[in-house]
Structure formats: C-alpha cells, structure tokens
C-alpha cells in the first residue's frame, strides 16, 4: 500500500466535514444532511461514534462511520459501522481493512465494543476479525441481510 495515504478520524481534520458528507452521500445516496448531523455530533463530542477517512493527498478515497443503527430491525445490536467505501481505482490495496482496524481500535480505546456491521459481502470482513452473527431485516428491504460482529 502506498505510504502517502493518510488515515484520520474526522476530528483531526474537521474542515473536511462538508466534503466528507457530500462524498458519503454520493456513494450511498443517504441525504447529505444525515451525514452532517452525525458528523456534527461527533465533532461536538456529543458522541464518540466517529467518522474515519483515508486521503490520497487532499482527496477522500475511502471512509466509514460509526452510528447507532444502520437501518435495520435489531436496535439492540449497536453501534454499527456504516458506509464503508473505497474508491474503485483504489480497491485491493488494504484501505478498507486499515480503516476497519483503526475504527475498531479507536472505539475499543473509548470502551465501545463490540461493533456491528450490516453487509451483503461474504468473505471480506472475516479477514479483519469480523464474525457472522445473524440475519437482520433492513428497513424497507424485502430480503434479510447479514449482520457481523467484531468482539
């Protein structure tokens, strides 16, 4: 992996909040305002559920967040890693894995463990210590989806 990539919690570069919210919105279609609300709460220290970015120079190329619930029916399985994304041209370089590991370590240091994650991927998250936990019902989704846990 290129050593010039910078991995940061959003608190290290709060001036990136608007750009990050727009970037996540473009990847997932969730309203920018929803990201801004979560990021603002994190930056104002109303929550420790954070947002993490990977930068190539000043360009956001990867990121993820931690939120209370990632749009599923198991409200007891919290907090959730969400919006995991790496730009296509940067995939296969360990960026998402490094973001996941940094997030798990940061949350654990704050006494927040385990973490949960909803995904349709199989085989990817297991490489980073995540275990399949159960199937959950996504809000407004006809099919069940996979819930993982990192203990």
Predicted model pTM: 0.94
Tell me how far apart the alpha carbons of residues 26 and 32 are, in angstroms, rounded to a whole number: 9
- Residues contacting residue 135 through CB under 8 Å, at least 6 positions apart: 144, 145, 146, 147
Query: Which residue in the block uniquely carries the two structure tokens 């050593």?
Result: 3
Cα–Cα distance, 133 to 151 (Å, whole number): 11
Is the per-residue pLDDT at 2 higher than 70?
A: no
Q: 5-9 and 131-137: which strand pairing?
A: unpaired
Q: Are 40 and 25 in contact (CB under 8 A)?
A: no
Q: What does the pLDDT read at residue 4?
A: 83
Domains of the chain (ranges; CATH) run 5-113 (3.40.630.30)
Averaged pLDDT score across all residues of the chain: 96
| 18-63 confidence digits (pLDDT tens) | 999 999 999 999 999 999 999 999 999 999 999 999 999 999 999 9
Q: What is the pLDDT of residues 74-126, one digit of tens each?
A: 999 999 999 999 999 999 999 999 999 999 999 999 999 999 999 999 999 99
């Amino acid at each position: 992996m290129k050593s010039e990539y910078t991995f940061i919690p959003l608190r290290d570069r709060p001036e990136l909040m608007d750009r990050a919210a727009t970037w996540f919105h473009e990847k997932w279609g969730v309203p920018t305002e929803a990201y801004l609300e979560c990021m603002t709460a994190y930056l104002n220290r109303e929550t420790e559920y954070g947002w993490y970015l990977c930068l190539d120079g000043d360009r956001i190329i990867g990121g993820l967040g931690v939120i209370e619930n990632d749009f599923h029916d198991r409200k007891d399985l919290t907090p959730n890693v969400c919006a995991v994304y790496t730009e296509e041209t940067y995939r296969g370089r360990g960026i998402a894995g490094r973001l996941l590991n940094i997030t798990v370590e940061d949350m654990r240091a704050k006494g927040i463990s385990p973490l949960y994650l909803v995904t349709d991927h199989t085989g990817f998250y297991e490489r980073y210590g995540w275990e399949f936990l159960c199937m959950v019902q996504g809000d407004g989704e006809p099919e069940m989806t996979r819930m993982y846990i990192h203990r």
